[in-house]
């Protein structure tokens, strides 16, 4: 039996989108930078972990997009350990209250919200990332690898989203080009391919982001 019918997308452009992925390190931050640059939107990552090892995704987005500081919002929770928010907060004695998180007011639309890890990453003992997505009420853009393994991981992720009634704007593939996989995902996942991000040599920089951002469909054209 194929996936259940996806939830209907809103008729008019919502306040923003939630960027999630089929795995950790799948390219969510790269994708978020490209979309924020293309749509001149506002970036927000509610949960940031791993700050003991790196500066975090928020300053990275600022550097890659070159947008002014008012396009970049600070995390609601900033944690040190490179673990899930639930595990990192337990180590640091921080109480997370994701059920109280609301969408921030912004002057630059749309809002690009980036999750931490994949859909089933625990935020607390009784709340997963996918629960936060459902609560915030934004449609999802799913970031997935383009090559081997993507069919299983992407279809499982789409099914989990559909079962919770979360609309999906589309998916973005990342890596070596594989149009056959994208076509299969569109057909079986009942979900459109929004863009393909090619394999970039070296560490992506602002010029790479600008070039790819220029190829992204406009925000208003997607609704």
Give burial (CB, 10 Å; 0-12/13-18/19+) of 22: buried
What is the spatial distance between Cα 128 and Cα 212, in angstroms, rounded to a whole number? 31
Are the CB atoms for 94 and 79 separated by under 8 Å? yes
- Alpha-carbon distance of 69 to 213, in angstroms, equals 19
The Cα 179–Cα 10 span in angstroms is: 28
Which H or E element spans position 207? helix 206-213
Angle at alpha carbon of residue 152, lines to 118 and 192, rounded to 5°: 80
Per the CB < 8 A criterion, the answer to whether 133 and 20 are in contact is yes
186 phi and psi angles, rounded to 5 deg: -65, -40
Active site residues: 45
């Amino acid at each position: 039996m194929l996936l259940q019918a996806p939830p209907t997308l809103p008729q008019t452009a919502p306040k923003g989108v939630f960027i999630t992925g089929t795995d950790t390190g799948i390219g969510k931050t790269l994708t978020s930078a490209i979309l924020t640059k293309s749509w001149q939107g506002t970036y927000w990552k509610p949960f940031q972990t791993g700050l003991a090892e790196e500066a975090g995704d928020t300053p990275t987005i600022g550097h890659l997009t070159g947008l002014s500081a008012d396009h970049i919002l600070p995390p609601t929770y900033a944690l040190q350990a490179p673990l899930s928010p639930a595990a990192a907060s337990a180590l640091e004695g921080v109480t997370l209250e994701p059920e109280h998180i609301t969408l921030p007011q912004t002057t630059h639309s749309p809002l690009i919200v980036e999750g931490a890890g994949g859909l089933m990453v625990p935020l607390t003992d009784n709340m997963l990332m996918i629960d936060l997505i459902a609560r915030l009420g934004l449609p999802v853009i799913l970031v997935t690898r383009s090559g081997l393994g993507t069919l299983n991981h992407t279809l499982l992720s789409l099914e989990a989203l559909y079962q919770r009634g979360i609309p999906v704007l589309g998916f973005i593939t990342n890596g070596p080009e594989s149009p056959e996989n994208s076509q299969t995902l569109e057909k079986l996942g009942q979900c459109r391919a929004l863009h393909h991000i090619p394999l970039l040599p070296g560490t992506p920089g602002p010029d790479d982001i600008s070039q790819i951002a220029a190829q992204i469909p406009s925000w208003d054209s997607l609704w």
